[in-house]
Structure 1
Amino acid sequence: MINWEALIYVAIAGIVLGAGLPTLYAIGTKMLTPQTTDSGQSVPPSAGRKAVAYLCFAICIVAIIAGVFFLAAGGHS
């Protein structure tokens, strides 16, 4: 018998962790990329863009550490 509730939880976790964390990392990387003006000059990222990037990276790091602790504690048992 299929436990549909557990299947839904696993699917949601797979989508959030499998697509969400790499997306956050990509957003953080994009925020740190220097912008190019129409004249071809490179403009360094502003303080706001750096703050968003570091927040994205922090969320990724916290999720990775939480996953390691979860697995080290024995998983879902």
Structure 2
Amino acid sequence: MSGIIEWGALGQVVLVGLLVGAGVPALFALGLRLLTLPVRAAAAEADDTHDGAATVGAAPGLGRRLGGYLCLALCVAAIATGLAFLVSGGH
């Protein structure tokens, strides 16, 4: 039966499927996470003006912003590469 299944091609499809199907969304989530700061629950409890709503601190640092923008740029590049591959008639 192993002559029917091309194991190398199957492995490539599974690898690309994992990278694109799970890797790109995880990269997008990481980019968004880097661009936001953790919620400061203690400050929200001490501040009664927000009716218990959580407050967010100042803007993220330069390293986090660069990392977040890099992750989001890689996501855009992956989407553009996939679209270009499909439009060019790639199989």
Q: By the TM > 0.5 criterion, same fold? A: yes
> Does 2:62 align with 1:59?
no
The partner residue of 1:28 within 13, 26, 31 is: 31
Uncovered stretches (5+) of structure 1, i.e. residues with no partner = none
What is aligned with 1:75?
90
Q: Write out per-residue CA displacement over residues 17-50 of structure 1, whole angstroms, 9 at most, x where no aligned residue.
A: 1100000000000011123457526132001100
The partner residue of 1:11 within 5, 14, 34 is: 14
> What do you get for the CA RMSD once the two structures are aligned?
1.5
**SS across alignment from 1:70:** helix
Inter-partner Cα distance in structure 1 for 2:79 and 2:24: 9
**SS across alignment from 1:8:** helix
Letter in 1 for 2:86: L
Inter-partner Cα distance in structure 2 for 1:69 and 1:38: 45
Inter-partner Cα distance in structure 2 for 1:66 and 1:4: 26
User: What is the TM-score normalised by the length of structure 1?
Assistant: 0.89
Question: Which has the larger Rg?
Answer: 2
Percent identity of the aligned residues? 41
Uncovered stretches (5+) of structure 2, i.e. residues with no partner = 44-54
**SS across alignment from 1:55:** helix
